[in-house]
Structure 1
């Protein structure tokens, strides 16, 4: 009878230990549709303004979420989409009356801010983001999983408009620029 109780206790402990996780209380990760990408510190954009050659250049979004441009000075771009940035630059040009007609502004992303990967991968660290990145491709960039890695799920920390979000996703989960991917150990 004592062996039966001991086995029952060990079994119940094993089951409850497997069910508990440090990842409890996580939210669902938001997805990113085409054209919804929002700029953040570390992104680099190329701006072209027809007729105002001194403004045509590449600009890196600083820690304050701004870019500094000649003739119009500082523009806040953190959390804005490319069309919103084009509109903000055009408004600043119009406000300063730098051109007679409505300014023609074009902007595009030159370089995305990096993503970070840590835990059970061969080479944890910071890597350049490429559009369409998934967890599998991010792990490949980091040299692959270690022999003890959980290959079925990872935790991603992501900055959104409402703050920092932490969620769990599988190997085909979408990775955004600035994400931190945590690959944990597998217990089985």
Structure 2
């Protein structure tokens, strides 16, 4: 009887300890699950933001895009925007895409495929390489030519990327040619690099796609 009584007491102690362990562990499990869901939710949201930003990208010459038809046929092609602003796509032929966003190109291809080629086509257009956002530096610099435009590229940074001035280059005689949006030709912005290097950074303007920086020869 004594042994039976002791056995009963031990079983009760075991059940109390076991129940307490479960009570302690369950919140940790739920918290871990909640953290995983939170991380997963944030990553999905980040991907959605990136996707939305990429759809607003305006396509230009030399950009490379991937066009995928998911339904009813499975077609995938990579196209480079030609100097005249066009690409070539099966069934449709030449398409003018310069100046359009990725979502607009997607809608254009989808619409044209639906007009006699495919029934209810599903098209996805993505950016593969961004090559159209360029600026150009010419004149008295070490490495004249075209360069990809990064964020916050100023005139001074542009000249630096082009290798700096030659011994004939004039730091006080620099021009930026900017294409007019509503008329033919360029607006001319005169930049004094010497003044910028003396601390007047407000004169160091940000470049835009297509800007041409011209460094003139100094008068000696």
The aligned runs of 1:109-120 (5 Å cut-off) are 110-113=129-132, 114-120=134-140
Residue segments in structure 2 that go unaligned for 5+ positions in a row: 1-53, 192-202
Q: How far apart are the structure 2 equivalents of 1:95 and 1:185?
A: 57
* Matched-pair contact (CA < 8 Å) for 2:69–2:124: yes
User: TM-score, normalization: structure 2?
Assistant: 0.55
Which of the two has greater helix per residue? 2
Deviation at 1:69, TM superposition (A): 0.7
What are the equivalent positions in structure 2 for 1:65-144 lying under 5 Å apart?
65-100=85-120, 103-108=122-127, 110-113=129-132, 114-127=134-147, 129-132=148-151, 133-144=153-164
In structure 2, the CA distance between the partners of 1:62 and 1:137, relative to structure 1 (3 Å rule), is same
* Partner residue, 1:150: 171
State the aligned residue count: 151
Distance in 1 between the 2:186 and 2:135 partners? 15
> 2: distance between equivalents of 1:53 and 1:130?
35
Per-residue deviation, 1:143: 0.9
Structure-1 residue corresponding to 2:185: 164
Q: 1:173 to 1:79 in 2, by over 3 A?
A: same
CA distance in 1, matches of 2:182, 2:82: 17
**Larger RCO: 1 or 2 (CA < 8 Å, sep 6+):** 1
Name the SS for the 1:104 alignment partner.
strand
CA contact (8 A) 1:85 1:107 kept: no
| Rounded Cα–Cα distance in structure 1 between residues aligned with 2:63 and 2:87 | 10
Match of 2:44 in 1: none
2: distance between equivalents of 1:174 and 1:139?
A: 11
Shift of 1:82: 2.4
- The normalised TM-score by structure 1 is 0.62
Q: What is the alpha-carbon root mean square deviation over aligned residues?
A: 3.2
Structure with max Cα Rg? 2
